[in-house]
Amino acid sequence: MVSVTLWSLVAVALLFDFLNGMHDAANSIATIVSTRVLSPRWAVVWAAAFNFIAFLFFGLHVANTVGSGIVSVDVVTDRVIFAALGGAIVWNVVTWLAGLPSSSSHALVGGLVGAGLTKAGLKAIVWSGVGKTAAGIVVSPAFGFILALALVLAVSWIFVRARPAAVDRLFRSLQFVSASLYSLGHGGNDAQKTMGIIAVLLYVHAGRQGGFYVPLWVVLACQTAMALGTLSGGWRIVHTMGSRITRLSPMQGFCAETGGAITLFTATYLGVPVSTTHTITGAIIGVGAARRTSAVRWGVARGIVVAWIVTMPAAGAVAALLYGLSGWALR
pLDDT tens profile 81-127: 999 999 999 988 887 777 666 778 888 999 999 999 999 999 999 99
Beta carbons within 10 angstroms of residue 115's beta carbon: 34
Provide the pLDDT for residue 298: 59
The answer to whether 90 and 315 have CB atoms below 8 angstroms apart is yes
Tens digits of residue pLDDT in 222-234: 999 988 888 876 5
Q: How far apart are the first and last CA of the chain?
A: 12
Provide the pLDDT for residue 103: 79
pLDDT tier for residue 12 given thresholds of 50, 70 and 90: very high
Highest-pLDDT range among 271-275, 304-308, 315-319: 315-319
The answer to whether 13 and 104 have CB atoms below 8 angstroms apart is no
pLDDT tier for residue 71 given thresholds of 50, 70 and 90: very high
Tens digits of residue pLDDT in 135-151: 887 788 889 889 999 99
Phi–psi pair at 296, nearest 5 degrees: -95, 130
- The contacts found for 325-331 with CB under 8 angstroms, 24 or more apart, are 326/79, 326/82, 326/83, 327/79, 330/5, 330/77, 330/78, 330/79, 330/82, 331/77, 331/78, 331/79
The answer to whether 52 and 187 have CB atoms below 8 angstroms apart is yes
Percent of the chain with pLDDT over 90: 35
Phi–psi pair at 311, nearest 5 degrees: -60, -55
Which amino acid does the sequence have at 41? Answer: R
> Is the dihedral angle over the CA atoms 239, 251, 278, 126 positive or is it negative?
positive
Tens digits of residue pLDDT in 13-44: 999 999 888 777 666 677 777 777 777 778 77
Tens digits of residue pLDDT in 216-260: 999 999 999 988 888 876 555 555 544 554 567 889 889 989 999
Q: Say yes or no to pLDDT of 285 above 70.
A: yes
Provide the pLDDT for residue 297: 60
CA distance 279 to 282: 5
